[in-house]
Chains A and B, each alone.
Chain A
């Protein structure tokens, strides 16, 4: 069901990973992703798996939750793996087969790479409230305000979008049920027919989103919202030695991956 989508979900907690400054976590994620893309040999992937596992342990996020989040991506993962499996040249597994040993290795690495990429991103969103996340981004990007980019507005929009994802998913479910009760059919027919069948869902969803946006704007005005100037925050961001350590560790990880790549591991 739609409700199973975990994108942007946050699992409150009080672990060291939760407590890290969101700016740290964003920087660490960037370092992690670069390191991941440098991994080429099995040792490199092994290190990345170990790092991810340690982070999951520290943050008390259950692997099941990561895998639940992976579900919508399964198709993409399977597709990329298949491409690698069938289109990598090398020694065939059995004489005459199209599948090669190199292909299998490549496919497995591809699966690992995408899974770790998603796992890393999810670790960030699972352990950081969207408020902190957007706050962290706003601060990291704030130098861009000087050249006139509306950073506060952009991050505000992002946090609103995250806030309303569950609400809109719930609403979509409701509208779908209601139209099904009127005999709407979303599963059968040609592609064109099915696309057309989405109208009874999309139109009410748009109408209600506009109404929501309207009401939300008034409610925000009533709560004295007047843009980013002069705003303070309840949860102030401040870096501790732990943040420094985290960034240092991941910088070391990156350096290590560069070395490993050089030695072909």
Chain B
């Protein structure tokens, strides 16, 4: 299947800067997949995201969104309505004083007839669980709720891809969970392609694919379990690794599982194996 977004040897340098922010990125994103991108500040992960809907265009190489070249002005609106983008600070992407008016903003810009806008707005608000609060003023919502409104504002464009650039960085743990659950559900139930940029490793665990960026390049790419099991690499990049993976790694056990229960089971099995030889008593709890 043709990937929905394709990077071909993409280089990018910000004007007035000497160092390249992206150094030859080759990347294909499959439709319907949940891709997480992890990296420390300045690793180029935000720059990468901004190439996905033509906010930035490559200085060298090209980005194709459903076959459309992002540097082609003619495709600009089509690319933007195909790839929706949610940013870090929810306050700075909400344009209206009433939740539903804000969600209507994008379809209004697209010149969609009124009745269809209403349908899209209601559907989008339901998908993020904010329908009941549609008449509220955004500034009175919690951070997680605001971010869900921002997501609904993008969904109302009916995009194929949802790119989220550190959407949880300013939220408390509860808000973070709200947002991650929402996007995971959108991907699993609605088939939305999700690209999640983050520096919280917990948020990557549920993804299909984890990409680690460093210094403008991709340094690891695979399933979250595969990537996290490269503990030394992650440490070198200043990134965290799930405690489960770290423990399994230090015990010399395979690191292909991440949830505490399976991990505990594996350690218990090892203990049983070795306690057959020694005579350590097993607690039957």
Q: Which of B93-111 contact A (CB under 8 A)?
A: 93-98, 100-101, 104-111
Evaluate contact between A131 and B98: CB separation under 8 angstroms: yes
Q: Which of A163, A215, A218, A221 has the most CB of B within 10 A?
A: A163
**Contact flag A129-B53 (CB < 8 Å), given A222-B84, A223-B106:** no
Q: A223 contacts which of B89, B101, B118, B157 (Cβ < 8 Å)?
A: B157
Q: Is the CB of A235 within 8 A of B114?
A: yes
Collect the chain A residues with CB atoms within 8 Å of residue B106's CB: 223-224
A215-B92, A219-B92 are known contacts. Are A234 and B121 too (CB-CB below 8 A)? yes
Q: Report the minimum CB–CB distance from B144 to chain A (whole Å).
A: 17
Q: Considering the chains assembled together, what is the distance between the CA atoms of A218 and B84 in angstroms?
A: 12
Residue in contact with B111 in the complex, picked from A130, A170, A230, CB distance below 8 Å:
A230
**Do residues B87 and A219 form an inter-chain contact, with CB atoms below 8 A?**
yes
Q: Are A223 and B105 in contact (CB under 8 A)?
A: yes
State whether the Cβ of A10 lies closer than 8 Å to any Cβ in chain B: yes
Contact with B along A72-111 (1 / 0, CB 8 A): 0000000000000000000000000000000000000000
Docked complex Cα distance between A163 and B96 (Å):
6
Which residues on the A side are within 8 Å of B85 (C-beta)?
219, 222
- Contact residues in B for A12 (Cβ distance below 8 Å): 98, 135-136
Please name all residues of chain A whose beta carbon is closer than 8 Å to the beta carbon of B107 when the two chains form the complex: 232, 234
Task: Indicate the member of A159, A226, A232 with the most B CB atoms within 10 Å.
Answer: A232
Contact A222 B80 (CB under 8 A): yes
Q: Is B139 an interface residue (CB 8 A)?
A: yes
Cross-chain contact A221 with B98 (CB below 8 angstroms): no
Q: Is the interface of A mostly helix, strand, loop or mixed?
A: helix
A223: chain B residues within 8 A (beta carbon): 80, 84, 105-106, 109, 153-154, 157
Tell me which residues across on chain A come within 8 A of B110, comparing CB atoms: 224
Interface residues of A in 134-191 (CB under 8 A from B): 159-160, 162-163, 166-167, 170
Contact call B91/A167, Cβ cutoff below 8 A: yes
B252 at the interface (CB under 8 A from A): no
A233 at the interface (CB under 8 A from B): yes
Asked if A218 and B114 sit within 8 Å, CB to CB, the answer is no
Q: How far apart sit A62 and B69, CA to CA, in the bound complex (Å)?
A: 57
Flag if A219 contacts B93 (CB, 8 Å).
yes
**Can you list 23 residue pairs at the A/B interface with Cβ under 8 Å?**
A10-B97, A10-B98, A10-B137, A12-B135, A129-B96, A129-B98, A130-B96, A163-B97, A166-B139, A215-B87, A215-B92, A216-B93, A220-B105, A222-B85, A222-B154, A224-B81, A226-B77, A232-B113, A232-B117, A233-B114, A234-B100, A234-B101, A234-B117
Q: Which 9 A-B pairs have the closest CB atoms?
A: A219-B93, A234-B104, A223-B106, A215-B92, A234-B117, A166-B139, A131-B101, A224-B109, A222-B85
Interface of A toward B, CB cutoff 8 Å? 10, 12, 129-131, 159-160, 162-163, 166-167, 170, 211-212, 215-216, 218-226, 230-236
Report B's interface with A, CB cutoff 8 A: 53, 55, 77, 80-81, 84-85, 87, 89, 91-98, 100-101, 104-114, 117-118, 121, 135-137, 139, 153-154, 157
